[in-house]
Amino acid sequence: MKYRIKIGRTVFANPVLAASGTFGFGLKFPGVANRIGGIVTKGITVEPREGSPLPRIYEFPGGILNSVGLENPGVRRFRKEILPELRRLKCRVIVNIAGFSIDEFIELVDGLDYKRVDGFELNLSCPNVKNGGVTFGQSPRMVERITKAVRKSTNKTLIVKLTGNFIDPLKTAKAAEQGGADAVCLINTLFGMALDESGRHFLGGRTGGISGPCLKPFALFCVERVASKMTIPVIGCGGIMSGMDAIDFLSAGATMVQVGTASLVNPKASLAVWQALGDWCRRHEVKDWEDIVGRTKRQD
């Protein structure tokens, strides 16, 4: 069985990616990065960002809440210091970019037009910034405009990372498709908050994004809802902790998956998910991805 997947111009060796913001730039664990389909970097903005005040993570049974606030070195430092290091990796590299205007998205893409960058993931779903992020991702019109503008600026693979926060992701996925995206990824974290004993917000950023296993049933629902109505591939994300979770997302219609929070617990989690997924396929004598992808719908 061939495990390769092509999205846009990029051929991924297998369908498992490390999700943005949970695997840094992949440089600390090349042995993992080089054996999965690829990595999606932490979100890069035009200007450097210090991110949200501490604390940034709250753990609860079933998941975590984060408010990192897109801390990153900014595009110039990323290009100068991190991009050359990324040449050491053999896997596919998708750069997650977070603009605060259409012009900024174009600036990011223009500034990162290098061979080592296989593609871009447009971050239209970060819940931890006042403008941009989720506010763009809740508007199908903005999703289409941003995607269209970026599409005109690059031939590289274009993935749009969508939100499930107070918007039907089918509407925004259709908008991304209309704008010329090669794939959509869903879902990013869902709004949440936690309080301390004195009734104050626990997180320095007050509110945050929920991720981890508790997200999986909703993410799966979103993937099935969107994938069956799209012509472009869907990348499933949300609470994937095991190979069986990945199989569930493929069954619901995802072509690829991203492993996020699991990597924060165990940096080798994405590789473990890929190995378990491959074992499962061999045990079940799967001949083609098409035998699994979207099989929930075929059983209707």
Instruction: Tell which one of 128, 165, 251, 255 touches ligand SIN (CB under 6 A).
Output: 128
Instruction: Tell which one of 22, 189, 251, 255 touches ligand SIN (CB under 6 A).
Output: 189
Position 260 contacts ligand SIN (CB under 6 A): no
From residue 96, alpha-carbon distances to 19, 256, 267 in Å are: 9, 16, 19
Instruction: Tell which one of 16, 68, 94, 252 touches ligand SIN (CB under 6 A).
Output: 68
- Residue 21 tokens, joined: 């913001």
Determine the Cα–Cα distance for residues 72 and 50; give it in Å rounded to an integer: 7
Which distant-in-sequence residues (6+ apart) come within 8 Å of 67 by Cβ? 52, 56, 128, 203, 204, 205, 206, 207, 208, 209
Instruction: Tell which one of 126, 187, 210, 262 touches ligand SIN (CB under 6 A).
Output: 126
Position 38 contacts ligand SIN (CB under 6 A): no
Phi and psi based region of residue 57 (left: phi greater than 0; alpha: psi -120 to 50; beta: remaining): beta
Position 22 contacts ligand SIN (CB under 6 A): no
Of 90, 71, 74, nearest to 82 (Cα)? 74
Q: Which range, of 67-75, 143-151, 240-248, 271-279, touches ligand SIN by CB under 6 A?
A: 67-75
Residues in contact with ligand SIN, counted by CB under 6 A, come to a total of 13
Integer Rg of the chain from CA: 18
Position 209 contacts ligand SIN (CB under 6 A): yes
Known binder of ligand: residue 165? no
Question: Which CB sits closer to ligand SIN, 210 or 269?
Answer: 210
Known binder of ligand: residue 238? yes
Question: Which CB sits closer to ligand SIN, 15 or 208?
Answer: 208
Instruction: Tell which one of 43, 63, 233, 239 touches ligand SIN (CB under 6 A).
Output: 43
Determine the Cα–Cα distance for residues 44 and 120; give it in Å rounded to an integer: 10
Instruction: Tell which one of 188, 255, 261, 270 touches ligand SIN (CB under 6 A).
Output: 188
Catalytic residue IDs: 126
Determine the Cα–Cα distance for residues 101 and 116; give it in Å rounded to an integer: 25
Position 67 contacts ligand SIN (CB under 6 A): yes
Of 107, 235, 213, nearest to 160 (Cα)? 235
Position 138 contacts ligand SIN (CB under 6 A): no
Position 69 contacts ligand SIN (CB under 6 A): yes
Known binder of ligand: residue 188? yes
**Residue 194: CB minimum distance to ligand SIN, A:** 15
Phi and psi based region of residue 159 (left: phi greater than 0; alpha: psi -120 to 50; beta: remaining): beta
Beta-bridged to residue 159, according to DSSP, are 121, 183
Position 269 contacts ligand SIN (CB under 6 A): no
Position 26 contacts ligand SIN (CB under 6 A): no
Determine the Cα–Cα distance for residues 78 and 132; give it in Å rounded to an integer: 20
Position 41 contacts ligand SIN (CB under 6 A): no
Q: What residues make contact with ligand SIN under the rule CB under 6 A?
A: 21, 43, 67-70, 123, 125-126, 128, 188-189, 209
Write out the binding residues for substrate: 42, 66-70, 123, 188-189
Per the annotation, binding residues are 20, 42-43, 66-70, 96, 123, 161, 187-189, 212, 238-239, 260-261
Specify binding-site residues for FMN: 20, 42-43, 96, 123, 161, 187, 212, 238-239, 260-261
